[in-house]
Chains A and B, each alone.
Chain A
C-alpha cells in the first residue's frame, strides 16, 4: 500500500531519471530502516534481547507525535512565536522522549526479571509486549488513519532530473545525525560501559558498572530510535494517510534489515537498512509490471533478500559468528 506511493512517484519516468529517483527513494527508505535497525541492534547488543516489540514502539512514537503535534499542540502552544516547523520538531522531539520513557518502563517491568533466562523466553516476552502495545495504541488511535501534520507534507524538491520529497531529505539528515550521535555515544563513559556489558555482564559488574542502568539506557535509546523510525514511516511519501494500525506491521520490514546486517553489528544495521530499502524500492520500480509476481511484490522483497543472505552468511553480513562449544 505504501510501496505503491513510492512507485507512483517514480513511475512514468524513463531511463536515467527512473534510476536516479529510485536510488534516492531507496536511500530514504533505507535510512528509515537503518534508524529502526540501529535501535534494535543497540537493545540486542547491550541486553541480548531480541525485541519483537520494536514495531509497536515505533507506532507508539508516531502516535505520541500525532497527539502532541495535532491534539495537544505542546510545546507549540507555549511557544507561539516560533515558526510552525520548529514547533512541530519540538513536538516530535517530545514524542521521542516520551517513547524512550515507555521503553524504560517496559524494560523495568518485563525484561529485568528475566535476566539470566534463556534468550528464547525473553524474545517471546517481547512478542507478548508487541501485542499489548499495539492493541493499546490502536485503542487510543481509534482504528483510523491519523495525519502527523508535519510541516513538509507532500512537497517535492526538483534538482535537475532528481525529484525528491522534502520528508525524504529530512529523513536522511536525521539518520546521519543519529548515527554521528551514536558514534559519539559509544565513545562516552556510558557508551563504554554499555560495550563492556555487551561483552560480559559479570565482568562489567565487577568493574563497578551498573548493569541495570546500562539496560535502562539501552532500552531508552532503542525506543527513541524506534520512535524516530515510526514517525518517518507514517509520513508522505511512505504513508500518505499518516499513522494507521498497519504502521507497526510495516515496521516489521526493518527486521530483515537487522538480520541482513547481523543482529549485533551497528555497521551492519546501517548497511542492512540501506540494502533492504534499495532492494524494496528497486523491486517496486522495475518489477511492478511483472504480473506473475503479483500485486505488492516489493513488500516481500526484504524477506526474500534476508533469506538469500542468511543461506550464504548465517549470521548476517557483519554479525559475530557464534563459536559453538559443547
Chain B
C-alpha cells in the first residue's frame, strides 16, 4: 500500500495523529522552524528575534492555549461562550494569590510555579463545572448571554476585591516565570537573560521556549481529546444534542467535561498571560478580550486545531503589521516619499482632513491604531463569516486541494 497517501486500510491508521508522511515532514519542519525563531537563525526572518517581535509571539503562544480551549468548547462541543476572558481571569488571580508576593494591601503565598500554574487551571475548571449545568438548562444563544453576564460580574469582582486583584487602576505584580522546588533560589529561571547549554539567550527567548513546549503539549491533548470518545461525544452534542442523547451520549456529562477542560485551558493561559505581562489591571479581562478569542476561532476555522493556531497568530500579529504599515505611510506622507499619495488617502494630517481617518498621534483626533485594529477585527469577522465560514483553515484546504490535482481541476 505504499505510495498511496489517502488509502487507509484500517481505522487506527486513519485516526493516527499524523496519518501521512507529508504531514509528518511538515510538522517536523515546523518544529525546527519554531526552535530556530528566537536564535535568529532563519534567513530573512531574523528580525523575529528582536524583543518587540518575540514578546508578541509569546503573547500569541499564550493566546493559542486559551483559543484551543475555546475551540474545544465552542468549535467542537458547540457551546457558545462569550465568557472566556472571565475564566482566564480566574486562572490569573488564582496564580497571583498562590504565587504572588504578599504586601500591605494584597494577599499572596509565594508558592512555587508547580503549585500555582496547575492550580490556576484547576480553579478555572472548577468554576467551569459550576457554570456547566446552566449550559444544560439554557441553550444556544441564551447561553451566550449567560456567559456575557459572567464577564461583567467578573469585572465587578476584580474591581472590588483589591486584596486579590490589586488596585483598580494599578493592578499588582505577578510572580516571575521561574521554577523552584520551594521558596528560595530558582533552579531554572525563564525571567532573566543568560546562557543555556552555552547559548546566550534573552529572557524573552527563554519564555518563548517554555511557552512553545506548553503549546505543543496542550495541542496534543486537544487533538487527542478530539479523536477519542470524549471528543466524538462533544461533536455529537454540537450537531444535535437530542440525537446525541438518543445514541447514548450523556449530555450533562459531555457539556460539563467541555466546560471544565475549556476553562482549564483558559485558566492556564490567563495565568501565563498575566505572568508574561508582569502587571495587569482588572479592566484587562473585559468583553473585548473574549471577543478576540471568538474572532480567533472564527477567523481560523471553528472546530479545527490547525485553524485555531493559524487564527491566533493571525489575530495577534495583525495589529503589529497594521501598525508598521501605518507608520510607514505616515513617514511617507511626512517626508513626501514615493508612496505619499497612497498614505494621503487614510492618514490624518490635520483636524479638518476629510479623507484621513487614521491618526498616528497618541490622543489626536481620528482613529488611533488601537481603534483601527478593533474595527479591523470586526471587519475580519464579518468578511470571513460571509465569504469563508471555515476561516483560514478553509482557505488552506482549498489551496491544498487545488495543487493536489494540478493541473487537473479534479
- Residue ranges of A at the interface with B (Cβ–Cβ < 8 Å): 50, 110, 113-114, 117, 119-121, 123-125, 127-132, 134-136, 138-139, 142-143, 249, 252, 255-256, 259, 263, 294-297, 299-300, 303-304, 306-307, 310-311, 314-316, 322, 324-326
Contact = CB atoms under 8 A, between A and B. Distances in A.
Interface in B338-389: 357, 363, 365-367, 371-372, 374-375, 377-382, 385-386, 389
B156 interface: yes
Interface stretch (B146-154, B175-183, B186-194): B146-154
Given A113-B386, A129-B382, A296-B156, A119 B246 contact: no
Contact of A142 (B139, B157, B295, B365): B365
**4 tightest Cβ-Cβ pairs between the two chains A and B:** A294-B160, A131-B378, A128-B381, A303-B149
A267 to B, nearest CB: 18
Contacts of A316: 142
Contacts of A135: 367, 371-372, 374-375, 378
Given A128-B378, A324-B241, 16 more contacts: A110-B382, A120-B80, A121-B385, A123-B141, A128-B381, A131-B378, A132-B379, A139-B367, A256-B145, A256-B149, A295-B159, A303-B153, A304-B149, A304-B153, A306-B149, A307-B134
Given A303-B149, A306-B149, A311 B142 contact: no
A244 to B, nearest CB: 15
B148 A255 contact: yes
A114 B146 CA distance: 25
Contacts of B101: none
B291 to A, nearest CB: 6
A324 B240 CA distance: 10
B145 A128 contact: no
Contacts of A130: 378
A326 B243 contact: yes
A276 B157 CA distance: 20
B134 A310 contact: yes
B2 interface: no
B204 to A, nearest CB: 30
Interface of B: 80, 134, 137-142, 144-146, 148-149, 152-153, 156-157, 159-161, 240-243, 246, 287, 291, 294-295, 298, 357, 363, 365-367, 371-372, 374-375, 377-382, 385-386, 389
Contacts of A326: 240, 242-243, 246
A107 to B, nearest CB: 13
A120 B137 contact: no
A129 B134 contact: no
Given A114-B385, A131-B291, A300 B142 contact: no
Contact of A136 (B291, B375, B377): B375
B366 A325 contact: no
Contacts of B144: 50, 123
Q: Which of A132, A249, A297 has the most CB of B within 10 A?
A: A132
- Most A CB contacts (10 A, CB to CB) among B140, B145, B363, B378 go to B378
14 contacts: A123-B144, A124-B298, A131-B291, A131-B377, A132-B375, A139-B367, A252-B152, A300-B152, A303-B153, A306-B145, A310-B146, A311-B137, A326-B242, A326-B243
B149 A127 contact: no
Nearest to A109: B382
B134 A311 contact: yes
A110 B379 CA distance: 10
A124 B152 contact: no
A110 B386 CA distance: 8
Contacts of B366: 139
Contacts of B152: 252, 299-300, 303
B145 A255 contact: yes
Contacts of B377: 128, 131
Nearest to B381: A128
Contact of B141 (A117, A120, A325): A120
A249 B288 CA distance: 11
Contacts of B148: 252, 255
Contacts of B159: 294-296
Nearest to B145: A259
A322 B334 CA distance: 60
Contacts of A113: 386
A324 B377 CA distance: 35
A301 to B, nearest CB: 10
B365 to A, nearest CB: 5
A99 B366 CA distance: 22
Given A135-B367, A310-B134, A324 B382 contact: no
A127 B145 contact: no
A314 B153 CA distance: 20
Given A131-B374, A304-B153, A314 B386 contact: no
Contacts of A110: 382, 386
A202 to B, nearest CB: 22
A314 B139 contact: yes
B160 A295 contact: yes
